[in-house]
A and B are shown apart, each in its own frame.
Chain A
Amino acid sequence: MMNSAVELPDAVTIATPIFVALVVLEAIATRYRWVKGSYETRDTATSLLMGFGSLIAGLLFAWIGVDAILYAYRFHVFEIGFGWGAFAVAFVLDDFVYYWVHRIGHRSRWFWASHVVHHSSQHFNLSTALRQTWTGPLNGLFVLKIPLALLGFPPALLFFVAGLNLVYQFFIHTEAVGRLPRWIEAVFNTPSHHRVHHGRDAHYLDANYAGAFIVWDRLFGTFTPEQDGLPLHYGLVRNLGTFNPLRVAVHEFIPIAVDLVQPGLTLGQRVGYLFAPPGWSHDGSRMTTDDLKRAAAERAKRPLAAE
């Protein structure tokens, strides 16, 4: 076992040259149709600038979550340390926490307002992986990681495995890779599973929240496989009409503010506009993803009913 003062590298920093090289390679390969996929200049620019802005936001605000975890570790129950076993268990548990952070990020509007940025491209390529939120460090979801620190996983280990997880997820943002061997598709999050996650078609909404292990989705009932016969379009239910990174970064927070200051709402309704699923409204005039799925399913049944 290594000592508790061990310093672990930032996996994302180390992997950045690989990210750049692979984005370049994929852009060229898709241009000449060697592999499936598409790039568009302004979309790519927005994705990369969102990634850059996310780096700045991390420098400015990540200390909030970091300090909270460091503080929580003072009260840890077990001495887990930095052994290989600890590393493996930390990676799995961190991925489990990531699943719930990600699921909440889609199912509650306040958290979705940060995460929506990552889904705002109508393309799905390696540059999309870098299209990251600027407001994530401020939304408070870091609290879900605190139990791991209280349990006794050293913060440095937690930050290291979280970085590894992000690096893993970069590689699954591509159309260039079809399906991987069945046992890999069964256990790991793959490009195929993650294409489904980025799909805006009703049949693919709110599925495959996994980070590295798709088993969480299989376990908690959110797994949807990619189906060859079904259309797959990427982006948001209501796509953006801007490439401006500043607008992209905050575009969901503005309508939240507008909804919150509507006159005549009860406190519960205002809370609903903040934390209920995206698309919720106090008068039912909007549609959540559940509504959209139900409506699409009903529409799909109609021709059969007419026969």
Chain B
Amino acid sequence: MTLPFILASNLVLIAAIIGLVHWLGRSVTARLESEDGARALFLAEYPAAAVVETVIAVAGDGALLRLEGGRAIGLLRAQGAHWLVRLIEPSSFGGVSQVGCGRIRFRLADFAAPHVALDLGDPALAALWCSRLRALRVVPAIPRRRPLELVP
């Protein structure tokens, strides 16, 4: 067998397995059921955080959480069947790239999670959270000995 044939047959097998997994109904995205659920998911990753307010995306595929002190915002975003959970601090916020029609899209200074897009369903709500995110840039970060990131 030649190398090109081996590589091509590998790609065909990979495509076939991906197709099978999709056909088996395994392409379902994680969904948030409630604000309490969102809070619990976030606190499981950042147990030292104090959540003040939560907004869940229309599709349930993400949430933003206002935290006590206003120096960071919590983020939940569906990552397949699981969740991406991040603490957005001034140093990790890369700026809002788009806001409108209830949608908000922003960048993170995070190579492994560069963009986040959430549909909050309400233009006023999106604008409010957009302003909270933008405000992070003018909040001086307080140096901490220990970050909030504590996996249980």
Contacts and interface: CB of A to CB of B under 8 A. Distances in A.
Nearest to B110: A241
B150 interface: yes
Majority SS at the chain A contact face: helix
Given A241-B113, A243-B80, A27 B21 contact: yes
A166 interface: no
Contacts of A292: 150-151
A49 B10 CA distance: 10
Interface residues of A, number: 51
Interface stretch (B23-31, B50-58, B129-137): B23-31
Contact of A239 (B21, B28, B79, B147): B79
B24 A28 contact: yes
Contacts, number: 128
B81 A48 contact: no
A287 B149 contact: yes
Interface string B27-68: 110000000000000000001000000000000000000000
Contacts of A175: none
Contacts of A248: 112
Interface in A279-302: 283-287, 291-292, 295-296, 299
Contacts of A287: 146-147, 149-150
22 contacts: A24-B20, A27-B20, A31-B24, A39-B24, A40-B81, A43-B80, A44-B26, A45-B14, A49-B14, A52-B10, A52-B11, A56-B7, A200-B151, A239-B84, A240-B112, A241-B116, A243-B79, A243-B80, A247-B112, A285-B143, A287-B150, A296-B151
Given A122-B80, A296-B151, 4 more contacts: A28-B24, A122-B82, A287-B147, A299-B150
User: What 5 pairs between A and B have smallest CB-CB spacing?
Assistant: A241-B113, A241-B84, A122-B82, A41-B27, A254-B111
